[in-house]
Structure 1
């Protein structure tokens, strides 16, 4: 018995093709929707945050909040102060050493005058360090030893006249120490001459 197959008409083929395209489109849409719904909470939160950006702190603002600034005497200024102190001592015929330290007690400049004793080098540095540490002349600090004798045990200090602080607006920026004159009073006089040469207040 012969089976008779009917040929599909162009209209039928068009209808079947349209249904297949619709099914394919529906499947693609479902895959896209499934992918979107499967996103992580973190991705969703990131997407939501993108519409409402939060203000972040800038580097200058962070620096202002986490640091502070201090003033330090320049090398040129320290040298000028040391030269002025040494000149004042020479005019009196004194052989001294002058040391200038910064706010942190680090030595910036030292001038050892002709004929100054070997001990004067370290003494001048220690006087300068002591003056800037307490923001006071070392001659005034000597009086504190009467009530607090252990002060002299602090490393690097020397409680003898001859050291003066250099301050700007009341805040110390350096210390000048002089050693080698016959008395601490003279050493301090020369140190003050060095500080005066800077013209700071």
Structure 2
């Protein structure tokens, strides 16, 4: 009798567990409000590599060596390529210029010019990770900034920016 009682207790417990599980499965799932979930375009590794290849090709066609960096919309480094002859400081500069262009949604050369011309903005050079030197350009998808690209070491801020803009034009020709 005790054995039967033990089996009945186990069977009853199993029914309770199954019943509870089916109630949980039958309950409506909680759905977050669509306005709370972000769906944002971003730079992929494939896009970053295409941009870098195109930009390096432009620099090389002009007889210039360079380092090119691409960051995503959060400022994370996605890809980087450096020619053998480019100084190591240019690598850090390219990453920081890309971050600056992304963070401010402004080409880094324009930001540098504005900071020099406007006393209220002159302290931007004290903000950690911003680098007020030309060569960084925001990447846009429609009206959204999805990342940034920057060139360093190609022969000055104007040359760096020119290589970046020509590289973007080859891969994302609708961006201005």
Equivalenced residue count is: 144
Asked if 1:85 is matched to 2:55, the reply is: yes
Asked if 1:166 is matched to 2:136, the reply is: no
Q: Tell me how far apart the structure 2 counterparts of residues 63 and 97 of structure 1 sit (CA, whole Å).
A: 43
Higher RCO (CA < 8 A, seq sep 6+): 2
Q: Deviations over 1:72-111 (max 9, x none)?
A: 1110110010111111111112111000000011000000
Give unpaired runs (5+ residues) of structure 2.
1-27
Paired residues of 1:176 and 1:194 also in contact (CA < 8 A): no
- Of the three residues 139, 157, 165, the one matched with 1:184 is 157
Matches within 5 A, 1:55-134: 58-59=30-31, 62-134=32-104
Counterpart for residue 157 of structure 1 = 130
Structure 1 residue matching 2:87: 3-state secondary structure: coil
My pick for the range that moved more, 120-129 or 62-71, is 62-71
Give unpaired runs (5+ residues) of structure 1.
1-55
Q: Tell me how far apart the structure 2 counterparts of residues 194 and 144 of structure 1 sit (CA, whole Å).
A: 25
Structure 2 residue matching 1:131: 3-state secondary structure: helix
Q: Deviations over 1:5-37 (max 9, x none)?
A: xxxxxxxxxxxxxxxxxxxxxxxxxxxxxxxxx
Paired residues of 2:54 and 2:171 also in contact (CA < 8 A): no
TM-score with structure 2 length normalisation?
0.76
> Judging changes above 3 Å, is the alpha-carbon distance between structure 1 residues 94 and 112 closer, same or farther for their aligned structure 2 residues?
same
Asked if 1:196 is matched to 2:133, the reply is: no
Q: Tell me how far apart the structure 2 counterparts of residues 92 and 149 of structure 1 sit (CA, whole Å).
A: 33
- Of the three residues 108, 117, 122, the one matched with 1:138 is 108
Q: Tell me how far apart the structure 2 counterparts of residues 119 and 150 of structure 1 sit (CA, whole Å).
A: 23
TM-score with structure 1 length normalisation?
0.67
- Structure exhibiting the larger radius of gyration computed from Cα positions: 1
Q: Deviations over 1:144-201 (max 9, x none)?
A: 2132111111111111110111111221001001000221000001111221232254
